Structure 1
């Protein structure tokens, strides 16, 4: 018996692309164009932005791990030198009457973000992704996750030239790539099932797209899982949508125009700002929600705050955890992974500590091929036994 001939490779690729197009088309509002995608083309070393700028203070305990992770995934960072902010500078930020309730650590973070944004403006680059140095990300961030998210973003925005990886900078002002949730409610309310409904999403410009690197629904942060379930979003899928109430500034992209608006208008460090009782990330949230800043969110996020020692919490002697962090803490330790990250760097499994041969091995197998080389894990990041369990259901 003659074996049936397999279709040529280009036919198989074409069918795969068509499947993705149909998926996206069925998940997007009718006024948003459909698009194709090549998931095999990694983003560049700055994730499609002009540069990656890191907010990292003097003596930060997080910087070494950040640099090691960036080397494995072959990302190129710029880490501007930050000063040790003085008490005089903190008092100047608070204002003459000093009635502000913002903590000293939060003031230092605000000043640091402002300095980094100004460094970006001096660089002449057109766009930048601003990262805090305590973020974690998946080993497939550059090879799979960002290409998918950026393609979805381009579908959501007006058509632009191929040189604009995330869409033309005139059509967006801020992209939340890393955050601790855009929950569609205030943080003193429940965030998902029974509180929000599918129409809360469909009313917004948005794109739902498949991403097989996303942890299964039961392994996502409880708030995230409940929100996606309430929206009837399929398993292993993310959304790019117009921002509603995005919290935390772990990783946010800006344009030259929006960076200038942040440092001069929405989150300045001097001038008539009133008595500040909120942190920098709340100032940005307010600009997105209430003041017309054109913000978009990748949801669930591609970068998330990593558990561990923090420079700001050390400065403020903070033991209290925000509700978002508290809700995901047990799951983080049980999974051995940062919230909403499938196979990340928090576990230190991919540390190389100066061993260049080990780094080269990790770059090839982990960073480029996306192999999750962790104990009791399959190459795709699933825990051993999970795939069999899902297949039997």
Structure 2
């Protein structure tokens, strides 16, 4: 078969996607995307948060966080945690995790080839491994799809704020704000990779094996409770340095909506 990023899992060991069991419409769409793009997705059922028993809650039920997670937020956390568990149990080196309303660019393999090359530079990894992952300490999480991000601030993170890779990517949306990072750029279509600091949403992210271990431990596990939605808890872990990773800007994956705002499942209890 094809190797590396050209293969059916885009150079990762697996691609998982989460979808509520009743959303067969979303699963159909994901199957169509997979078939059209010659990709192999592993379906993971979403979790109804109200079915999680007290003993399995990601916080102490006696000392609840000030704003206890809603059933929808609990279900979202558990579905992601189920994937982290699977990664750890199966010893998966890297996995792309998607939500079921994600849209793919037709040029995804070209885009990820650029990401992989520039990650090599950031991690100092040899060119032998996809996405610069040579040992488990290179990165925990790569955010490829998100709804908001900010790089580390210069005042508090003078070194990290200066670390980035930027390149021309014909599939990036034309945005003036990144052109200055690529002197002599012929277009405004610039893609940037930077250390993760502020990032919101979990539409599309990659975890390494070490990343899955750290997330399972710190996000609603023995190392920390789920005191806010999963993406905010993850963001705080990046800011405190407990997990590390990189974010692609602009977001490589976006959310599609088939219908109006009622189409989302995140409010589902």
**TM-score where L is the length of structure 1:** 0.57
Gaps of 5+ in 1: 1-40, 187-195, 218-224, 317-393
Give the deviation of 1:181 after TM superposition.
Answer: 2.4
What is aligned with 2:128? Answer: 162
Contact 1:48 1:166 in 2 (8 A): no
Identify the residue that residue 208 of structure 1 maps to in structure 2.
166
Contact 1:201 1:231 in 2 (8 A): no
Larger Rg belongs to? 1
The residue correspondences of 1:260-299 to structure 2 (distance < 5 A) are: 260-264=213-217, 266-269=218-221, 271=222, 273=224, 276-299=226-249
Residue 292 of structure 1: how far off its partner (Å): 3.4
Aligned to 1:312: 266
- The answer to whether 1:59 aligns with 2:22 is yes
Q: 1:136 to 1:200 in 2, by over 3 A?
A: farther
Corresponding position: 1:118 with 2:85: yes
The answer on whether the counterparts of 1:169 and 1:255 sit within 8 Å (CA) in structure 2 is no
Contact 1:179–1:251, Cα closer than 8 Å, also in 2: yes
Cα distance in 1 between the residues matched to 2:266 and 2:160: 38
TM-score by length of structure 2 reads: 0.81
SS at match of 1:55: strand
Query: Within 1, Cα distance between the matches of 2:5 and 2:86?
Result: 27
CA distance in 2, matches of 1:181, 1:83: 25
> Quick one: structure 1 residues 49 and 88, their matched pair in 2 at CA, closer, same or farther if it must change by over 3 Å?
closer
The answer to whether the Cα contact below 8 Å between 1:50 and 1:128 also exists between their aligned partners in 2 is yes
Q: Which has the higher strand share?
A: 2
Alignment of 1:140-289 (within 5 A): 140-142=107-109, 144-170=110-136, 171-184=138-151, 203-217=161-175, 227-228=177-178, 235-264=188-217, 266-269=218-221, 271=222, 273=224, 276-289=226-239
Q: What's the secondary structure of 2:87's corresponding residue?
A: helix
CA drift at 1:300: 0.8
Alignment of 1:325-344 (within 5 A): none
1:79 aligns with 2:33: no
Q: Deviations over 1:299-351 (max 9, x none)?
A: 111112223412223x15xxxxxxxxxxxxxxxxxxxxxxxxxxxxxxxxxxx
Partner SS, residue 80 of structure 1: strand
Task: Answer whether contact 1:90 1:104 (CA < 8 A) is retained.
Answer: no
Cα shift at 1:260: 0.8
Tell me how far 1:127 sits from its aligned partner. 1.1
The CA RMSD over aligned residues, in Å, is: 3.0
Distance 1:230 1:45, change over 3 A: same
